[in-house]
Structure 1
Amino acid sequence: MHRSAPRLTRILACAAVPVMLVVAGCSSDSGDKKDADSATSASASPSATKSEPAVEAAKFAELPDPCKAVEAKTVKSLVPSAKSKNGTRGKSSDASVRGGCSWNGLADKGVKGSQYRWLDVGFTRFASDQTLGSGAARAGEEFDKQVKKTEATDGAKNVKTGPVSGIGDQATKITYDQSKTDEDFRFTTIVARTGNVVVVVNYNGAGYAGSKTPDAETILKGATMAAEDAVAAVAEANAGGAESPKATDEPSDDSSKKPSKKPSSSAKATS
């Protein structure tokens, strides 16, 4: 009887083992199911299928003819003895993206000397791109680059930079002096952004043969007049509407539509 008791204990212990394994197995299956449910939920998360918002459409799809962007009366006033009243067109591989024009001339005043004037205007248009960003944002970056580039002009003296109101969405004036051909020149550059287009206007002058150097206010006022004309010309060239969201640098077919009247000039430059 004393030998059978230990044997019975061992039998009961072994019999209990399958029960414990079954319980452990059920617990393991339950954990696997929870993990599978979590994985399924994660794969179905809305963030996994979220798409990027469409980039804002560019405002302008066309550029104006640069040699007609500044009104004839403005050119006559700023460069009265221009060699070519129609201007000299800059070279461009795509006139819908980039363009420019310049005028220059020397007004001979006899014994009073001569007055030299130079005017040029340049346009750069930026299309909206899903990867690169909106045309307006890209134009804003170019605007900043052009301002810094002008401020760093080689040989420039007395450089002053300030905002200009009433020209496009934003505009900055940079005035400075520079000596060339043994003469003192006065310069004003106005960098403006209207929508997705950057406009750069340069106006400068000098006195020759004893004639006085033009004052800074005269040159600033002239550059402002030309910038107002150029920015207004961009709006006129795009009277048909804005660029589509899937814009490219191809010209639109709406350029034939023109407003009846160019907006009047209202900006006032400050020294």
Structure 2
Amino acid sequence: MHRSASRLTRILACAAVPVMLVVAGCSSGSGGGDADGSSTSPTAQPSATVAPAKFTGLPDACATLGRKTIDSLVPKAKVKGGTAGKSSDITARASCSWNGLDDNGVKGSQYRWLDISLTRYDSDVTLGSGAKRATEYYTKEVAGAKGTEGAKELKATPSSGIGSEATTVTYSLKKTDEDFSYATVVARTENVVVTLTYNGAGYAGAKSPSIADMSKDAVKAAKETVAAVSAGSGQTPATGESSAQESAKAE
């Protein structure tokens, strides 16, 4: 009886050995690695990219129009070189204005005001390309001109041949007891928006300029301004990359 019990104990002990080896073998492969022992790393996500903005700066707003143009649109301008608007970043926002009163004695006087505003947008991986952001601002500027309070005879028409897209908004507006004729041209050239406002009125019995004439002159000046933006704003090379793309390579 004692001999049988000892034999049974030895059999059970031997039977337990393979089980322990199997358990040990399984535990040695823990840790999430592959069967060959190599570890699996997460797949790297590609960095977001956006098309680079074409223009990297802005020209001097007061230098976008030639002297002949200023003399024609604003006779007797108080400051021939224009008055620059304040800007915290002249590479992104710039403006300039001219105004003058041409006194013709008993024939009355002619008043003119001309204002140019330049707004540039950089590309941003979150907000979109510079051209896309400029398009959004262009739409807002056109809507703002069309929504001028008190405007009469208001018309908005597309203007071809001015940058990437352009709209001319014309209307008349009563100010200081005089009827002013207005022409606002909003144009976008790539990632830059040009807003040109031209208005005038006759004083002391002089007839106010026609809206058609104001519109014609404003469109001509807008074309000249857009050309100045293209010539003096600096451009991103065709093979250039946005800052987002460059940072992605550096990582």
Name the amino acid aligned to 1:95.
I
* Residue 246 (str. 1) matches residue 243 (str. 2): yes
Aligned partners of 2:234, 2:88: CA distance in 1, in Å?
24
Other-structure match for 1:9: none
* Residue 120 (str. 1) matches residue 102 (str. 2): no
Contact 1:102 1:118 in 2 (8 A): yes
Name the amino acid aligned to 1:107.
D
Aligned partners of 1:238, 1:213: CA distance in 2, in Å?
36
**Which of 120, 128, 132 pairs up with 2:127?**
132
**Which of 187, 192, 200 pairs up with 2:187?**
192
Contact 2:52 2:129 in 1 (8 A): yes
Aligned partners of 1:241, 1:49: CA distance in 2, in Å?
29
Contact 2:53 2:236 in 1 (8 A): no
Deviations 1:221-252 (A, max 9, x none): 111121011101111113554474018xxxxx
* Residue 63 (str. 1) matches residue 50 (str. 2): no
TM-score (norm 2): 0.77
Name the amino acid aligned to 1:163.
P
Deviation at 1:153, TM superposition (A): 1.0
Q: How many equivalent residue pairs?
A: 204
Other-structure match for 1:222: 217
Aligned partners of 1:71, 1:199: CA distance in 2, in Å?
16
Contact 2:170 2:183 in 1 (8 A): yes
- Secondary structure at the aligned position of 2:243 is classed as coil
Question: Gapped runs of 5+ residues in structure 2?
Answer: 1-33, 35-39, 245-251
Deviation at 1:53, TM superposition (A): 4.9
* Residue 207 (str. 1) matches residue 194 (str. 2): no
Name the amino acid aligned to 2:190.
G
Aligned partners of 1:62, 1:49: CA distance in 2, in Å?
35
Contact 2:55 2:235 in 1 (8 A): no
Deviation at 1:51, TM superposition (A): 2.6
Residue identity over aligned pairs, in percent, reads 52
* Residue 181 (str. 1) matches residue 176 (str. 2): yes
Question: Gapped runs of 5+ residues in structure 1?
Answer: 1-36, 38-42, 248-271
Aligned partners of 1:176, 1:53: CA distance in 2, in Å?
45
